[in-house]
Amino acid sequence: MGQYTAPVRDMQFVLHELLHVEDELKQLPAHADIDTDIINQVLEEGGKFTSHVLFPLNHSGDREGCHYNKADQTVTTPAGFKAAYQQYIAAGWPALSCDPAFGGQGLPLVINNSFYEMMNSSNQAWTMYPGLSHGAYECIHEHGTDEQKALYLPKLISGEWTGTMCLTEAHCGTDLGLLRSKAEPNADGSYRITGNKIFISAGEHDITQNIVHLVLARLPDAPAGSKGISLFIVPKFLPQADGSLGARNPISCGAIEEKMGIHGNATCQMNLDGASGWLIGAPHKGLQAMFVFMNAARLGVGMQGLGLTEVAYQNAVTYAKDRIQMRSLSGIKAPDQAADPIIVHPDVRRMLLTARAYAEGARAFCSYVALQLDKELNHPDEAVRKDCAGQVALLTPIVKAFITDNAWIATSECLQVYGGHGYISEWGMEQYVRDARINMIYEGTNTIQSLDLLGRKILIDNGAKLRKFGAQVQAFVEENGMNEAMNEFITPLADLGEKVSKLTMEIGMKAFQNQDEAGAAAVPYLRVVGHMVYAYFFARMAKIALEKQDSTDTFYKAKLATARFYFARLLPETATLIRQARSGSASLMALDADLF
């Protein structure tokens, strides 16, 4: 059903020509030996695995879905999923960017990031099983005791066990301060966990023997609200000291959700009936510990949006070149056929280029953020680590929200290219639209990401982190301001940078008087800043393409054309968004609730 070819050439362009990853990694002792050949080999092999093993299961997995056995509370994944997972771990893919001290390969996150894009393009529902495991690994690696690390990390890194995060409860979604799950201490240092969780992706399945749940719950003396939440490791089967499996822990799947999309992934209702758990991190500090997992997940969800944008684009292009309908407005283009291929029509081009531009912008952006993460974790200079941490904190909500919003737009446009066939399941396009919709909701809705960006990442430090990124943009503008060939990119980029600064100050002053002003402005504000980020990277990519446009490699001509489309057709959205952000809260809050 359909097709997928990993965009290795564009990934190589981003990593080698735009970001100069090899030079950057040589500054990091842990990755100083990573060279272009290693990077390219991983990309090429990753492309083969995802296109040949995972992609063929995407449509069938969506149609079949997961099967719940009420009698024994088990879940069976769609046909082929378990076998594909065995191939995945046999090839060593779970260990790619993990700590060698626990069996990992120790490659940088920026390479792992590209591989996850491929996996999400080929099969998002399948990818969520190992994807959540990586978040569990990060959390235990950061906050676990030495004993917990020794027991759990090797199994998560090898892929023998998978992981989940159990946050949400039926009465509280984003507001985790309302959760009711309880943790009562046992004499042996463990805890007895009781409660019910919902919407737990990969909470139960048959692809591995054990599942390591990270569960938020309250200790008996916990203060109210989010400051009274602790984090616990709750395995499906209790591991023995040697890593072998012991007794079944009383954490079970009560049902799986019937969902709009990602049918191949089991979204579970999990019941904890006195399950044994072990505290990870400090008491009442579980939310801080879980943020390691949540931030990794937010970056991962951005990659899901990118993956779906890319695969939808690829299939829509193929269809547009093959489908004949009407004649070109500027004259016949295919005289040997009864009609012209629809790719000749301007609005079909608009839809395709929208998806292409959002994919290429997201790829550059996500790779940049992943590289900043590598530097935050591994750079020998503390000042550099601190600066990179600030950038990652600033950009993470934009990765999650802007990319997934754009994926919803792009997959919808790609479905539209197909016309009525796009709405029919046999073509596969409608699945990408359905799958894309969840990415705007989970791991913190995009409104929450917008509030996080504006309130916690920008206004809280008077815009210091944003100014640092803005200085980077301004330096590029000044460096290239006299280059006439770059004027079409530099002028709108500089203009938007000034407008973002003014808008930020204006919203901050209004919010100081009334915090609803921040809530009213947050969503359009995030999109404005997201466009500024994309404009910066497209301008940088355009500079490279301009310098190489006379090359026999037509890649650069295509890159330049995509950049020009972005600046001409997509960036102007910021004018409307700025007006929306400035319009204030009055029109939103004036109507009494009982009049709705």
For position 55, which CATH number holds? 1.20.140.10
Distance CA 275, CA 574 (A): 50
Distance CA 195, CA 234 (A): 12
Strand 191-201 and strand 210-217: the pairing is: unpaired
Token pair belonging to 586: 């009055």
Question: How would DSSP label each residue in 35-60?
Answer: -HHHHHHHHHHHHHHIIIIIGGGHHH
Whether residue 571 sits in one domain with residue 466: yes
Torsion sign (Cα): 322, 328, 333, 339: positive
In a domain, 592, yes or no: no
Cβ atoms of residues 167 and 132 within 8 Å? no
Whether residue 371 sits in one domain with residue 253: yes
In a domain, 166, yes or no: yes
Cβ atoms of residues 158 and 189 within 8 Å? no
Q: Look at residue 291 in the predicted model and tell me its pLDDT.
A: 76
What mean pLDDT comes out for the span 543-550? 95
Annotated active-site residue in 204, 310, 443, 517: 443
Q: E strands along 135-201, which residues?
A: 161-166, 182-185, 191-201
Whether residue 464 sits in one domain with residue 431: no
Whether residue 549 sits in one domain with residue 409: no
Whether residue 489 sits in one domain with residue 373: no
Cβ atoms of residues 305 and 438 within 8 Å? no
pLDDT digits (tens, 9 = 90+) for 426-457: 999 999 999 999 999 998 999 999 999 999 99
Strand 230-235 and strand 267-279: the pairing is: antiparallel
Question: How would DSSP label each residue in 432-452?
Answer: HHHHHHHTTTSSS-HHHHHHI
In a domain, 323, yes or no: yes
Residue 199: helix, strand or coil by DSSP? Answer: strand
Q: Within a 10 A sphere around the Cβ of 515, how many other Cβ atoms?
A: 13
Residue with tokens 């790719």: 343
In a domain, 596, yes or no: no
Token pair belonging to 425: 């399941």
Whether residue 168 sits in one domain with residue 34: yes
Whether residue 475 sits in one domain with residue 425: no
Token pair belonging to 65: 């879905």
Q: Look at residue 572 in the predicted model and tell me its pLDDT.
A: 98
Whether residue 186 sits in one domain with residue 90: yes
Domain span at residue 49 reads 1-444
Distance CA 311, CA 566 (A): 19
pLDDT digits (tens, 9 = 90+) for 242-298: 889 999 999 999 999 999 999 999 999 999 999 999 999 999 998 888 777 777 889
Q: To the nearest 5 percent, what fractions of the chain are helix, strand and coil?
A: 65, 10, 25
Name 19's Cβ contacts closer than 8 Å, sequence gap at least 6: 110, 364, 367, 368, 371
In a domain, 38, yes or no: yes
Distance CA 13, CA 550 (A): 17
Whether residue 376 sits in one domain with residue 405: yes
In a domain, 523, yes or no: yes
Q: Count how many Cα atoms sit within 13 Å of the Cα of residue 489 in the half-sphere of its side chain.
A: 32
Question: Which ranges constitute the DSSP H helices of 257-345?
Answer: 286-322
Whether residue 187 sits in one domain with residue 212: yes
- Element (DSSP H or E) covering residue 502: helix 487-513
In a domain, 594, yes or no: no
In a domain, 382, yes or no: yes
Distance CA 568, CA 96 (A): 39
Q: Look at residue 135 in the predicted model and tell me its pLDDT.
A: 87
Domain end: 388, 421, 444, which one?
Answer: 444
Instruction: Indicate if the pLDDT at residue 529 is higher than 90.
Output: yes
Whether residue 523 sits in one domain with residue 439: no
Query: Domains in the chain: how many in total?
Result: 2
Q: What angle do CA 19, 136, 93 make, to 5 degrees?
A: 55
Which one, of 483, 578, 585, lies nearest residue 540 by Cα? Answer: 483
Q: Look at residue 171 in the predicted model and tell me its pLDDT.
A: 86
Confidence of residue 173 (pLDDT cuts 50, 70, 90): confident
Domain end: 444, 460, 495, which one?
Answer: 444
Whether residue 502 sits in one domain with residue 424: no
Domain end: 423, 444, 465, which one?
Answer: 444
Q: Look at residue 544 in the predicted model and tell me its pLDDT.
A: 98
pLDDT digits (tens, 9 = 90+) for 78-123: 999 999 999 999 999 999 999 999 999 999 999 999 999 999 999 9
Name 381's Cβ contacts closer than 8 Å, sequence gap at least 6: none
pTM of the model: 0.97
CA 175 to chain centre: 21
Task: Tell me, yes or no, if 443 is annotated catalytic.
Answer: yes
